[in-house]
Amino acid sequence: MDRPASDDTRLWMPGVPERFEHARDEAEFRRPGHRPGVELYRAHIVRYAFEPHSHDGFGLGAIESGAERFRYNGTEHVAPPDSIVLMNPDTLHTGRAETAEGWRYRMLYIAPDVLAELSGEPGWWFADAVRREPAAARRLGARLAALWRTDDALAFDSLLSVLLDELRRHARVARPAPPEGAGRFDTVIDYLHAALAERLTLEQLAAVAGLSPFHFLRSFKARHGVTPQQMLMALRLREAKRLLAAGVAPAAVAAATGLADQAHLTRAFACRYGVTPARYQRQIRG
């Protein structure tokens, strides 16, 4: 991976995250100090398998080499080399290598309101999680690499604008109508958001949905591709990521998100984002 220039918004981590079991697995985050709601990520993953997790922004990226297999929105996908990955906010997904050498990739995570402001067009939505367009994917990878390297705020925003212009043709500007019955599960997810630190039961969540417990469990899995517990853990870890970025100490983050202790937070965070909480906090806060 190219080494970024030194400044106080990023930190080169020469080793690998403590949770990684393979010496070649590595992942790194960066947040530009001047542009809230934007996060850059680059990684080379050989053996690690990411557990279900989500992001509160769009995930837009390019596979530079190797191939990734991931489950997204209930469907298995394979992203080959020189392909584009387009993920919508709040959508659970996994990730593991499809090839022996793993996969190397770069991602941009961008909040929906920031994307709307930059593009001048709210309501972006991507129907295809993977687009196999080698030339476009290589351009996107080059744009993401340039974003990582630049220290100039104006240059960063200009590059970001060009990148979004190039991805616009893949986006729909009106979100598809939710499937029938989705509203009751949206209510459950809102309930989970409000109760991250609580111990919940299947009966509680079923009551929110107005269904019997096991009917609710089957229906929830059919709708989201994960169990309610997996969804709850994904929401807990996403909130943990937000709190860590705000400078909250890991022990306090664990307590605020319903995890048993800091060790539990460390294990769960690394399983979903590829770095430990302490490394993530150092990388983005310098």
How does DSSP classify residue 8?
A: T
How do residues 227-254 score in pLDDT, each as one tens digit?
899 999 999 999 999 999 999 999 999 9
Model pTM?
A: 0.80
CATH code reported for the domain at 182-285: 1.10.10.60
| Residue range(s) of every CATH 1.10.10.60 domain in the chain | 182-285
State the pLDDT at residue 173.
85
Cα(67)–Cα(78) distance, rounded to whole angstroms?
7
How do residues 159-216 score in pLDDT, each as one tens digit?
999 999 999 999 998 776 666 666 788 999 999 999 999 999 989 999 999 999 999 9
State the pLDDT at residue 139.
97
Question: In sequence order, which residues have a C-beta less than 8 Å from that of residue 86 and are 6 or more positions away?
Answer: 58, 59, 60, 126, 128, 129, 130, 131, 167, 170, 171
Cα(93)–Cα(54) distance, rounded to whole angstroms?
6
State the pLDDT at residue 9.
37
55 token code pair: 């992001």
- C-alpha angle with apex 218: 212 to 220, nearest 5 degrees? 90
Q: What are phi and psi of 261, to 5 degrees?
A: -170, -175
State the pLDDT at residue 285.
78
128-162 burial, b if ≥16 CB within 10 A, otherwise e? ebbbeeeebbebbbebbbbbbebeeeeebbebbee
* Mean pLDDT within 124-150: 96
How do residues 8-67 score in pLDDT, each as one tens digit?
333 332 223 445 566 789 999 999 999 999 999 999 999 999 999 999 999 999 999 999
210 token code pair: 């107005």
Report the top-level CATH class of 26-172: mainly beta
| Residue range(s) of every CATH 2.60.120.280 domain in the chain | 26-172
